[in-house]
Structure 1
Amino acid sequence: MRRQGMVAAAIILAASSARSEPVETGALDDRPAQSAPLEPDRPPSIQSSLGAFGDPGGFRSLLAARGITYNLLYTNEVLGNVAGGVRQGPIHAGKFEAAVTLDLDRLAGWTGWSGFANVFQIHDTGGLRDRSFQRLITVSNIEAYPSTRLSELWLERNSADQQLSLRIGQLVADGEFFSSETGKIFLSNDWPTITGANLPSGGPAYPLSTPGMRLRWTPDASVSALLAVFNGDPGDQASVNRTGLNFRLNDAPLVMGEVQLRSTSKTDELPGSIKLGGYQHFGRFDDYRYDRAGLPLASPRSTGTVRRHAGTSGVYAVVDQQLYRPEGGSESDGIFAYTRISSSPSDRNLIDLWADGGVVVAGMVPGRPKDAFGLSFIYARISDSARRSNQDRVFLDAGFQLVRSYEATIEVTYQIAVAPGWIIQPDIQYVFNPGGGIVDPSFPNKRIKGGAVFGLRSTLTY
Structure 2
Amino acid sequence: MGTFRFILGPGAALAALLAAGAALGRGGDHHDPAPASDNPPTIASSLPESLAQPAEARDALAERGFEFGLKYIGETFADVSGGLRRGTIYDGKLRAALDADLDKAFGLTGLAFHANASQLHGRGIDQFYTGALMPVSNIEATPTTRLFEAWLEQNVAEGASIRLGQMGADQEFMTRASAEIFVNNSFGWPALAIADLPAGGAAFPLSDLGARVKLETERFALLAAIFDGDPAGPQGAFESPDPQRRNADGLRFRLKDAPFLIGEGQWKYSIDGLDGVAKIGGWRHFGVFADQRMGADGLSLADPASSGVPLRRRGNFGLYALVDQQMFRSGARSAGAFIRGEVAPNDRNLVNFYADAGVSFRGAPARPDDLFGVAVGYARVSSGARGLDRDAAAFGNGFAPIRSGEALVEATYIASVIPGWTLQPDLQYIRRPGGNIADPRDPSGVRSLRNALVVGLRTLIRY
Equivalent-residue separation in structure 2 for 1:92 and 1:84 (angstroms): 19
Whole-angstrom distance in 2 between the partners of 1:277 and 1:242: 30
Measured in 2, the distance between the counterparts of 1:29 and 1:374 equals: 19
- Determine the structure 1 residue equivalent to 2:449: 448
- Matched with 2:96 is 98
TM-score normalised per structure 2 = 0.88
- The match for 2:257 among 251, 254, 263 is 251
Output one character per residue of 1:270-324: Cα deviation in whole Å (capped at 9) or x when no partner.
1111110100000000111112243322234434332111110000011111122
Contact in 2 for aligned 1:27/1:263 (Cα 8 Å): no
1:217 counterpart SS class = strand
The separation in 2 between residues aligned to 1:214 and 1:408, in whole angstroms, is: 33
After TM superposition, list the pairs within 5 Å mapping 1:63-78 onto structure 2: 63-78=61-76
Are positions 1:290 and 2:294 aligned together? yes
Matching residue within 176, 184, 189 for 2:172: 176
Aligned-pair distance for 1:122?
A: 0.6
Matched, 1:353 2:358: no
Quote how far apart the aligned CAs of 1:392 are.
Answer: 1.2
Residue aligning to 2:335: 335
Contact 1:28 1:321 (C-alpha < 8 Å) held by counterparts:
no
TM-score (normalizing by structure 1):
0.88
Question: In the aligned structure 2, how far is the partner of 1:98 from the partner of 1:113?
Answer: 21
2: CA distance, partners of 1:133 / 1:33: 40
Equivalent residue, structure 1, for 2:238 = none
Change in Cα spacing, 1:380 to 1:398, as seen in structure 2 (3 Å) is: closer
Match runs of 1:52-451 below 5 Å: 52=49, 53-56=51-54, 58-124=56-122, 126-161=123-158, 163-188=159-184, 189-218=187-216, 220-235=217-232, 236-263=242-269, 268-326=272-330, 329=331, 333-363=333-363, 365-398=364-397, 401-444=400-443, 445=445, 446-451=447-452
CA shift, 1:35, in A, is: 6.1
Contact 1:150 1:244 in 2 (8 A): yes
* Deviations 1:392-448 (CA, angstroms, capped at 9, x unpaired): 111222565321011111111111011222111111111111111111111133111
The alpha carbon displacement at 1:269 in A equals 1.3
Is the CA contact (8 Å cut-off) linking 1:352 and 1:382 kept in structure 2?
Answer: yes
Corresponding residue for 2:236?
A: none
Partner AA of 2:121 in structure 1: H
Compared with structure 1, are the counterparts of its residues 226 and 443 closer, same or farther at alpha carbon in structure 2 (3 Å cutoff)?
A: same
Amino acid at match of 2:227: F
Distance 1:59 1:388 in 2: 61
8 Å CA contact 1:28–1:182 kept in 2: the answer is no
What is the CA distance between 1:27 and its match in structure 2? 4.4
Distance (Å, rounded) in 2 between the aligned partners of 1:36 and 1:293: 55
Structure 1 match to 2:460: 459
The answer (yes or no) to whether the contact 1:286–1:307 under 8 Å persists in 2 is yes
Consecutive unaligned residues in structure 2, runs of 5 or more: 1-12, 29-33, 233-241
- CA 1:244/1:221 → structure 2, altered by over 3 Å: closer, same or farther? same
Q: Call closer, same or farther: CA 1:226–1:51 in 2, change over 3 Å.
A: farther
Contact 2:27 2:115 in 1 (8 A): no
1:19 equivalent in structure 2: none
Distance in 2 of aligned mates of 1:201 and 1:30: 30
Inter-CA distance 36–412: structure 2 relative to 1 (3 Å threshold): closer
Q: Secondary structure at the match of 2:313?
A: strand
Label 1:402 to 1:434 Cα distance change in 2 as closer, same or farther (>3 A).
same
**Alignment length, in residue pairs?**
427
Closer, same or farther: CA 281–32 of 1 in aligned 2, 3 Å: farther
Q: In structure 2, do the counterparts of structure 1 residues 35 and 435 end up closer, same or farther at CA, with 3 Å as the change threshold?
A: closer
Q: What letter matches 2:221 in structure 1? A: S
What CA deviation, in whole Å up to 9, does each residue of 1:169-192 have, x standing for no partner? 001000000111111111103311
Cα distance change on mapping 1:238 and 1:344 into 2, 3 Å: same
Please give the residue correspondences for 1:37-52 in structure 2 after superposition, counting only pairs within 5 Å. Answer: 37-40=24-27, 43=35, 44-46=40-42, 47-50=44-47, 52=49
Of 236-245 and 184-193, more deviation after overlay is shown by 236-245
Summarize deviations over 1:241-267 as a string: whole Å, max 9, x none: 000011111110000000111126x9x
TM-superposed CA distance for 1:36, in Å, is: 4.0
Task: Tell me, yes or no, if the aligned pair for 2:14 and 2:178 is still in contact at 8 Å.
Answer: no
| Aligned match of 1:15 | none
Residue 60 to residue 282, structure 1, CA distance change in 2 (3 Å)? same
Letter in 2 for 1:403: I
SS of equivalent to 2:180:
helix
SS in 1 for 2:450: coil
Q: Distance in 2 between matches of 1:398 and 1:422?
A: 53
Q: Please, which runs of 5 or more residues in structure 1 have no aligned partner?
A: 1-25
Identity of aligned pairs, percent? 42
Q: 1:398 to 1:366 in 2, by over 3 A?
A: closer
Query: Contact 2:142/2:245 (CA < 8 Å) preserved in 1?
Result: no
Deviation at 1:108, TM superposition (A): 1.5
- Stretch deviating more after TM superposition (67-76 or 48-57): 48-57
1:31–1:38 contact (8 Å) kept in structure 2: no
SS in 2 for 1:439: coil
Aligned to 1:22: none
